[in-house]
Amino acid sequence: MDTQLLLELQAAYIRELEKRIEDLEDRLEKYEQTKNSRNSSLPPSKDQNRPFKSKSLREQTGKKPGGQTGHEGNTLKMVSNPDFIINHIPDYCSCCGQSLKEVPTELQEKRQIIDLPEIKPQVTEHRIYQKQCSCGHITKCAPPEGLKNRIIYGNNIAGLNAYLSVRQYIPFKRLQEIFFDIFSIGISEGGLHELLKRVTNRAYPVYQQIKGKIVRSDIVGSDETGTKINGANKWIWTWQNPELTFIAVSNNRGTETIMNNFEKGFAHSILVHDCWKSHFKTEALSHQVCIAHLLRELNGLSEQYKNSLSEEFRQLLLKALEYKKQLKPEDYLQPQKRTMFFESWLESIIEKVIDPNQKDLIAFQKRMRKYKSFILTFLHLPKVPPDNNGSERAIRNIKVKQKISGQFKSYEGATAFAILRSVTDTAIKNGQNVLNALTSVAKYQGAD
């Protein structure tokens, strides 16, 4: 082959390779800039390319892993009133063999074993008697309230079933195994569903009480997440504060759900949420946009455009968060110069001119202009949190439940979980024993 022709072919091949490399580099850059849970409001389940952990919003504290110096330990401790005492008293001298039965004993030390007693079901039989009066009338005692059938499972079993299902997310097949292997109680899957239904019905009045208290609270956080019910897309919503959690199931993600649950909105509350439009349509005293969501979006915009505006906005929010930690309750009673400085800084940022080609950044800026009054609310009121993490934690349990137990098989089942999870979370927030709380609910007869 002619040398000149060979060189030309090689040169053409090299140019083709260079073009392919350039195209691949462009595709890689776009791929790395894909929105994900750490640089936008997308949930982790939507991540296509999980970023490195260094992209997390969490700042390093410099502390070593594990318990910190001075923290209260939780080591195994002896009890002062053991259930059983076994005395080990020597009968003879281990040196000369002389009897020690008449020698006074002296307690040297104590050692204890903590164990569980044998677990077996306890059956209580109610015997119903009758007597015939001299007039001929027969009087028969009525069975105890709640004992409608000849044999039923008790409220302790019902409460434990609810606890294992809702708090520990155990599927029904494994629940059957637990009750049989540990407690020697054979319960069908249908029986477990009926027990859960019993507790759900009795928990409903508590559920409504939680809802009523949420409406009257000063601060309400709200969020929503998708879920699967028998293969169909549905939504789980939550409204919560540091003491209460209310969870509801819905067919949609719109304002209709809010109106169905809280028709009059929250006229006396600050509503904390992300920038989902339905929340802004809810009547409220004021709003607080979740700063954590904004920071994630700004991370993504900084990666995408390398624009100074997104980084400056990010620094504003971080400094405002740090300032929030320094404020004392009495500081909120009068205007703070630093707060006014942050508001002025925010105003200057959202009015800056942006390159027309940076469309995502322009859209973000327009949204911030629209909701600017709700970005720094947390600097004016002491109890208002700067983020919506409490609401995200409240509905994260639905994702955990689905990962462990799979999708809900029916709308009724999802609603039962929402009711019992509302009671469970509220008990946790108030430092109550969850099992005791659910067992107490199971014993409540008013809803039957």
Higher-confidence residue of 30 and 251: namely: 251
pLDDT value, residue 256 = 92
Q: What domain count does the chain have?
A: 2
Please check the confidence at residue 118 and state whether its pLDDT lies above 50: yes
Average pLDDT over residues 230-256: 94
Answer yes or no: do 362 and 299 share one domain. Answer: yes
Contact present, 180 and 419 (Cβ < 8 Å): no
Mean pLDDT of the chain: 88
Whether 295 is in a domain gets the answer yes
> What's the pLDDT band for 62 if we cut at 50, 70, 90?
low
Say which range, 10-14, 67-71, 222-226, 322-326, has the weakest mean pLDDT. 67-71
> What's the pLDDT band for 55 if we cut at 50, 70, 90?
low
Q: Convert 112-128 to b/e letters by CB count within 10 Å (16 or more is b).
A: eeeeeeeeeeeeeeeee
Say which range, 19-33, 79-93, 332-346, 365-379, has the weakest mean pLDDT. 19-33
Whether 121 is in a domain gets the answer no
Answer yes or no: do 309 and 371 share one domain. Answer: yes
pLDDT value, residue 57 = 65
CA–CA separation, 289 vs 123, rounded Å?
A: 55
pLDDT value, residue 246 = 97
Higher-confidence residue of 141 and 147: namely: 141
Answer yes or no: do 368 and 423 share one domain. Answer: no
Whether 299 is in a domain gets the answer yes
Whether 147 is in a domain gets the answer no
pLDDT value, residue 24 = 81
Average pLDDT over residues 442-447: 74
Say which range, 38-52, 215-229, 400-414, has the weakest mean pLDDT. 38-52
Answer yes or no: do 375 and 418 share one domain. Answer: no
pLDDT value, residue 2 = 67
pLDDT value, residue 404 = 86
Backbone angles phi and psi of 307, in degrees to 5? -95, 140
Chain Cα centroid distance, residue 157: 25
Whether 198 is in a domain gets the answer yes
Whether 328 is in a domain gets the answer yes
* Positive or negative torsion for Cα 279, 280, 281, 282: positive
Higher-confidence residue of 424 and 10: namely: 424
Decide which of 338, 367, 382 is a domain's last residue: 382
Q: Domain containing 176: what range? A: 155-215+411-442
pLDDT value, residue 23 = 80
Whether 103 is in a domain gets the answer no
Please check the confidence at residue 296 and state whether its pLDDT lies above 50: yes
